[in-house]
Each structure stands twice: as C-alpha cells, then as structure tokens.
C-alpha cells in the first residue's frame, strides 16, 4: 500500500506466507515532483523485486484503485525477470482485503508520524538558529563525541542531522590509534582530520554547524584541524555538560565569540 502526504510517500509492505502475516515494513522513497501513487508503487516494486536478491512471490496485492495503471507493466517486468507468471492484483476479498486495509492503515499512520517528526525537526532547527543568532536556518549538522570501549579502546562517533532528521547512512565511527590512552584532545583531532580530509578529497557535503562534545579544549582541536585543512564556512560549537551533567545545564562555546 502507498500513501502520499505533504510531499512525502510511504510504502507499506506486508509479507504473507501460507495465509499468515510474517512481517511488515515501512519504506519512504523520495517523492518526485507531482508523482502519483501509481508511479511511486510501480517504481518502488520494480526496485524492490528486480534490483535485489529477493524472492519474488507468485502473487502481489496492491491496495487502492489508483494503482490499476501500473499493474500490467509491473506484471510484465516481473515475468521477464523471473521467467514465470506473477499475478499482480488490486482486488481482493475476505482476509485478503483485510490485509490490504491493514497495509493502507499502517502506511497512513507511519507517514503521518514521519511528517510530524519532520515538522518538529524543522522547528528545532529554527530554534537553534535563534539560540546561535544565525542569519539563516542551518541545513546540516555533524556532531562528534569521544568514548572509550571497555575502558581502553578509544572510539570517535560522528552523527549527522538535517531538517529531515537523523541521517544514519552518514553516521561514522573512527577507531582511534597511536595516541596516549585517555588523551581525548588527540583523539578528537585525529577523528576530525580523518573525517574532513576525506570529505575535502571526495568533494563531500560539509555541515553548516559542527558540534563538539566538550569545552574550549575540544573546540580548539576542531579549529586547528579546519585551519590546517583550509576548510571554512562552518560554525563550530563546543557543548560542555557542566558539573551536574544534567540536560539543560550545558554551556556552549562558539568559535569566534568570547
């Protein structure tokens, strides 16, 4: 089942075997301008079954009368791919109709939640602009933190957010080597150097704001790395947790401000 709302799409897939629902999963494909439900379903199903090593079931049910136009094309594509007949249907009765209704309802609920989450994230970005007194709302934020695995191995984590929310595909972890144990300044410098040298060499996307977990010392490491790599255009912010380490009592250190 597919639902469109506020420029976003959700495709809900129910996996049914021998009359039993074995699972359900939501997908949020990028929506092209003025794309219809039929176009989204056709493109999604083709990619879902043809571009991955996934078993194509003998029968696929599609929810909604507005997907009728893609049935023949999808059925033909799957037949050529599998060399056997695949039944693609939009009409069902009894328990099969209930499956379609379940998929459609789940798609609606999941898309509504995603739209609300995006709107909430946009509000947070606007609040961040106000707090930092920025001229425009930031588009991308990267956050770095140093941790110690099992009390010894040092690991740096980079998480990325934009106005859509967390971009988990852009997350990175760096195993820190060749430093004195417990030297978080050296660990931060190594992680930042590896991250932004790679982005610079590959012409990657740089963040508008770089958040560093730590105070002035950690922030200084970030400043030095970006100066050495000759990278500009980023606002650098250190976030010190404070003595109580409770949320809401953090102190911000913004590069360029006293």
Mean pLDDT, the chain, integer: 88
Specify the DSSP class assigned to residue 202.
T
Task: Give whole-number Cα distances, 215 to 186, 241, 242, in Å.
Answer: 14, 8, 9
Q: How much is the pLDDT for 192?
A: 96
How far apart are alpha carbons 31 and 33 in whole angstroms? 7
Q: How much is the pLDDT for 250?
A: 80
pLDDT at 242 over 90: no
pLDDT at 243 over 70: no
How far apart are alpha carbons 255 and 235 in whole angstroms? 7
pLDDT at 132 over 70: yes
How far apart are alpha carbons 196 and 108 in whole angstroms? 40
Per residue in 26-37, pLDDT tens?
Answer: 999 988 877 888
pLDDT at 52 over 70: no
Q: What is the mean pLDDT of residues 187-214?
A: 93
Q: Which of 207, 203, 182 is nearest to 192 (CA)?
A: 207
pLDDT at 249 over 70: yes
More confident residue, 141 or 120: 141
Q: Is 233 helix (H, G, I), strand (E, B) or coil?
A: coil
Confidence band of 238 (pLDDT split at 50, 70, 90): very high
Q: What is the mean pLDDT of residues 202-220?
A: 91
Partnered with residue 166 across adjacent β-strands are 161
Confidence band of 151 (pLDDT split at 50, 70, 90): low
Q: How much is the pLDDT for 59?
A: 92
Q: How much is the pLDDT for 119?
A: 85
Rg of the chain, C-alpha, whole Å:
24
pLDDT at 258 over 50: no
Q: Is 123 helix (H, G, I), strand (E, B) or coil?
A: helix
**For the whole model, what pTM was predicted?**
0.62
Confidence band of 245 (pLDDT split at 50, 70, 90): low
The H helix count followed by the E strand count for the chain is 5, 12
Per residue in 101-111, pLDDT tens?
Answer: 999 999 999 99
Q: What is the mean pLDDT of residues 218-231?
A: 94
Sort strands 87-89 and 59-61 into parallel, antiparallel or unpaired: parallel
How far apart are alpha carbons 222 and 86 in whole angstroms? 56
How far apart are alpha carbons 144 and 200 in whole angstroms? 18
pLDDT at 227 over 80: yes
Q: Which residues of 70-99 are buried (b: 16+ CB within 10 A; e: fewer)?
A: bbeebbebbeeeeeeebebebebeeeeeeb
- Cβ-contact 230, 223 below 8 angstroms: no
């Amino acid at each position: 089942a597919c639902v469109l709302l506020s420029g976003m799409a959700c495709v809900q897939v129910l996996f049914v075997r021998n009359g039993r629902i074995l699972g359900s999963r939501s997908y949020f494909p990028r929506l092209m301008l003025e794309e219809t439900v039929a176009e989204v379903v056709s493109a999604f199903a083709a990619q879902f079954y043809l571009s991955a090593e996934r078993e194509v079931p003998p029968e696929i049910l599609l929810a909604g009368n507005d997907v009728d136009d893609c049935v023949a094309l999808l059925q033909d594509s799957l037949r050529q791919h599998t060399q056997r007949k695949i039944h693609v249907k939009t009409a069902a009765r009894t328990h099969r109709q209930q499956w379609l209704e379940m998929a459609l309802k789940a798609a609606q609920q999941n898309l509504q939640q995603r739209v609300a989450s995006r709107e909430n994230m946009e509000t947070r970005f606007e609040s961040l602009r106000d707090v930092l007194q920025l001229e425009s709302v930031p588009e991308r934020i990267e956050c770095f933190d140093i941790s110690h695995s099992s009390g010894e191995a040092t690991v740096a984590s980079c998480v990325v957010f934009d106005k859509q929310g967390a971009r988990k595909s852009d997350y990175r972890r760096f195993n820190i080597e060749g430093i004195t144990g417990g030297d978080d300044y050296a660990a931060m410098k190594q992680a930042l150097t590896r991250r932004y040298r790679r982005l610079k060499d590959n012409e990657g996307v740089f963040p508008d704001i770089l958040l560093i977990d730590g105070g002035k010392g950690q922030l200084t490491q970030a400043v030095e790395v970006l100066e050495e790599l000759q990278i500009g255009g980023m606002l650098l912010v250190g976030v010190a947790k404070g003595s109580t380490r409770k949320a809401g009592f953090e102190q911000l250190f913004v590069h360029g401000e006293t």
